[in-house]
Protein backbone atom coordinates (compact mmCIF):
# COMPACT_ATOMS: atom_id res chain seq x y z
CA UNK A 1 0.00 0.00 0.00
CA UNK A 2 1.28 3.47 -0.89
CA UNK A 3 0.16 6.87 0.23
CA UNK A 4 -1.58 9.11 -2.25
CA UNK A 5 0.85 11.49 -4.00
CA UNK A 6 0.86 14.88 -2.29
CA UNK A 7 0.80 16.95 -5.48
CA UNK A 8 -1.74 16.92 -8.26
CA UNK A 9 -0.42 15.71 -11.61
CA UNK A 10 -0.01 18.81 -13.79
CA UNK A 11 2.47 17.75 -16.43
CA UNK A 12 0.35 18.52 -19.49
CA UNK A 13 2.78 16.82 -21.88
CA UNK A 14 3.05 13.61 -19.82
CA UNK A 15 -0.39 12.95 -18.31
CA UNK A 16 -3.98 12.92 -19.49
CA UNK A 17 -6.59 14.86 -17.47
CA UNK A 18 -10.29 13.94 -17.39
CA UNK A 19 -13.16 16.38 -16.91
CA UNK A 20 -16.88 16.80 -17.58
CA UNK A 21 -17.20 18.86 -20.76
CA UNK A 22 -20.94 19.21 -20.04
CA UNK A 23 -20.10 21.14 -16.85
CA UNK A 24 -18.04 24.26 -16.35
CA UNK A 25 -20.48 26.49 -14.48
CA UNK A 26 -20.65 24.88 -11.03
CA UNK A 27 -18.34 21.89 -11.30
CA UNK A 28 -15.70 20.24 -13.46
CA UNK A 29 -15.11 16.70 -12.25
CA UNK A 30 -11.35 17.33 -12.61
CA UNK A 31 -9.41 14.04 -12.62
CA UNK A 32 -5.63 14.17 -13.17
CA UNK A 33 -4.46 11.00 -14.96
CA UNK A 34 -7.98 9.57 -14.62
CA UNK A 35 -11.55 10.11 -15.82
CA UNK A 36 -14.39 11.28 -13.62
CA UNK A 37 -17.23 8.89 -12.91
CA UNK A 38 -19.12 7.89 -16.06
CA UNK A 39 -22.62 9.38 -16.12
CA UNK A 40 -25.57 7.51 -17.59
CA UNK A 41 -27.23 10.68 -18.89
CA UNK A 42 -27.43 14.43 -18.63
CA UNK A 43 -30.18 16.76 -17.46
CA UNK A 44 -31.65 16.54 -20.97
CA UNK A 45 -31.38 12.74 -21.05
CA UNK A 46 -28.40 12.47 -23.40
CA UNK A 47 -25.54 10.19 -22.36
CA UNK A 48 -22.31 12.20 -22.37
CA UNK A 49 -18.97 10.55 -21.62
CA UNK A 50 -16.40 12.78 -19.92
CA UNK A 51 -13.68 14.47 -21.92
CA UNK A 52 -9.97 13.76 -21.64
CA UNK A 53 -7.28 16.36 -22.31
CA UNK A 54 -4.52 14.20 -23.79
CA UNK A 55 -0.78 14.94 -23.42
CA UNK A 56 -0.60 15.90 -27.12
CA UNK A 57 -3.29 18.58 -26.60
CA UNK A 58 -6.22 16.73 -28.15
CA UNK A 59 -9.48 16.74 -26.21
CA UNK A 60 -11.32 13.46 -26.74
CA UNK A 61 -14.25 11.54 -25.37
CA UNK A 62 -13.31 7.94 -24.61
CA UNK A 63 -14.73 5.06 -26.58
CA UNK A 64 -16.95 3.47 -23.94
CA UNK A 65 -18.06 -0.10 -24.61
CA UNK A 66 -21.39 -0.47 -22.82
CA UNK A 67 -21.07 -4.26 -22.87
CA UNK A 68 -17.95 -4.35 -20.70
CA UNK A 69 -17.94 -4.02 -16.95
CA UNK A 70 -14.84 -3.64 -14.80
CA UNK A 71 -14.70 -5.27 -11.40
CA UNK A 72 -13.07 -3.12 -8.77
CA UNK A 73 -12.62 -3.60 -5.07
CA UNK A 74 -13.71 -0.71 -2.88
CA UNK A 75 -13.37 -0.09 0.81
CA UNK A 76 -13.87 2.65 3.36
CA UNK A 77 -10.08 3.11 3.48
CA UNK A 78 -8.84 4.56 0.19
CA UNK A 79 -5.39 3.51 -0.99
CA UNK A 80 -3.23 4.67 -3.84
CA UNK A 81 -2.11 1.82 -6.09
CA UNK A 82 0.46 2.20 -8.82
CA UNK A 83 -1.30 2.00 -12.16
CA UNK A 84 -0.69 2.54 -15.83
CA UNK A 85 -1.03 6.22 -16.92
CA UNK A 86 -4.43 6.97 -18.47
CA UNK A 87 -2.95 7.97 -21.85
CA UNK A 88 -1.33 4.50 -22.20
CA UNK A 89 -4.29 2.65 -20.68
CA UNK A 90 -6.78 3.81 -23.33
CA UNK A 91 -7.11 1.13 -26.02
CA UNK A 92 -8.78 3.34 -28.64
CA UNK A 93 -8.15 6.85 -29.95
CA UNK A 94 -11.51 8.18 -28.76
CA UNK A 95 -13.55 10.82 -30.56
CA UNK A 96 -12.42 14.45 -30.71
CA UNK A 97 -14.64 16.76 -28.68
CA UNK A 98 -16.48 18.80 -31.33
CA UNK A 99 -15.89 22.51 -31.83
CA UNK A 100 -19.46 23.22 -30.71
CA UNK A 101 -19.10 21.22 -27.48
CA UNK A 102 -15.68 22.75 -26.79
CA UNK A 103 -16.96 26.28 -27.45
CA UNK A 104 -19.92 25.68 -25.11
CA UNK A 105 -17.68 24.33 -22.35
CA UNK A 106 -15.30 27.31 -22.63
CA UNK A 107 -18.19 29.78 -22.61
CA UNK A 108 -19.60 28.24 -19.42
CA UNK A 109 -16.14 28.03 -17.84
CA UNK A 110 -15.41 31.69 -18.62
CA UNK A 111 -18.70 32.79 -17.04
CA UNK A 112 -18.23 30.70 -13.91
CA UNK A 113 -16.44 31.55 -10.70
CA UNK A 114 -14.63 28.19 -10.70
CA UNK A 115 -10.87 28.22 -10.40
CA UNK A 116 -9.14 26.13 -13.04
CA UNK A 117 -5.61 24.72 -13.01
CA UNK A 118 -3.31 27.21 -14.73
CA UNK A 119 -2.98 26.45 -18.44
CA UNK A 120 -6.03 24.15 -18.65
CA UNK A 121 -8.39 26.54 -20.46
CA UNK A 122 -5.54 27.64 -22.77
CA UNK A 123 -5.01 24.03 -23.84
CA UNK A 124 -8.76 23.56 -24.41
CA UNK A 125 -8.79 26.78 -26.51
CA UNK A 126 -5.92 25.37 -28.60
CA UNK A 127 -8.03 22.24 -29.19
CA UNK A 128 -10.92 24.50 -30.26
CA UNK A 129 -8.70 26.31 -32.76
CA UNK A 130 -7.62 22.95 -34.19
CA UNK A 131 -11.22 21.75 -34.46
CA UNK A 132 -12.38 24.98 -36.09
CA UNK A 133 -9.45 24.73 -38.50
CA UNK A 134 -10.60 21.23 -39.45
CA UNK A 135 -14.11 22.36 -40.34
CA UNK A 136 -13.42 25.77 -41.90
CA UNK A 137 -11.88 25.46 -45.33
CA UNK A 138 -8.81 27.60 -45.85
CA UNK A 139 -8.31 28.44 -42.19
CA UNK A 140 -5.16 27.49 -40.35
CA UNK A 141 -5.50 25.05 -37.42
CA UNK A 142 -3.34 27.48 -35.45
CA UNK A 143 -5.50 30.54 -36.25
CA UNK A 144 -6.21 32.53 -33.10
CA UNK A 145 -9.66 32.41 -31.53
CA UNK A 146 -10.66 36.05 -31.58
CA UNK A 147 -12.14 37.78 -28.57
CA UNK A 148 -15.18 38.63 -30.71
CA UNK A 149 -15.78 34.97 -31.58
CA UNK A 150 -15.49 33.94 -27.95
CA UNK A 151 -17.77 36.77 -26.83
CA UNK A 152 -20.33 35.75 -29.47
CA UNK A 153 -20.24 32.14 -28.23
CA UNK A 154 -20.53 33.31 -24.63
CA UNK A 155 -23.46 35.64 -25.29
CA UNK A 156 -25.24 32.99 -27.30
CA UNK A 157 -24.98 30.49 -24.47
CA UNK A 158 -25.96 32.93 -21.73
CA UNK A 159 -29.57 32.53 -22.85
CA UNK A 160 -29.31 28.73 -22.62
CA UNK A 161 -27.70 28.50 -19.17
Q: What is the mean pLDDT of the chain?
A: 75
84: containing domain: 17-158
Residue 154 lies in a domain: yes
Residue 111 lies in a domain: yes
pTM of this prediction exceeds 0.85? no
- What is the average per-residue pLDDT within 131-160? 49
Statement: residue 117 has pLDDT above 60: yes
The string of pLDDT tens digits covering residues 6-36 is: 455 567 778 899 998 888 778 888 888 888 8
- What is the average per-residue pLDDT within 80-93? 84
Residue 4 lies in a domain: no
Residue 101 lies in a domain: yes
- What is the average per-residue pLDDT within 151-160? 42
Count of domains observed in the chain? 1
State how far the Cα of 161 lies from the Cα of 141, in Å rounded to an integer: 29
Statement: residue 151 has pLDDT above 50: no
Is 144:128 a contact under the CB 8 Å cutoff? no
Statement: residue 105 has pLDDT above 50: yes
Segments of 3-103 assigned E as strands: 17-19, 31-32, 51-53, 59-61, 95-96
- What is the average per-residue pLDDT within 98-126? 92
Residue 1 lies in a domain: no
Statement: residue 128 has pLDDT above 90: yes
pLDDT given at position 131: 92
Amino acid sequence: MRECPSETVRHWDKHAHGFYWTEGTRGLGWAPDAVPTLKVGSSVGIPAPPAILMPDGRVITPDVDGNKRWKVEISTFPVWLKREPLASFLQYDGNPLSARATRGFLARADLSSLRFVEGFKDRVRTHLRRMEGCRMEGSSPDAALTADALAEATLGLRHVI
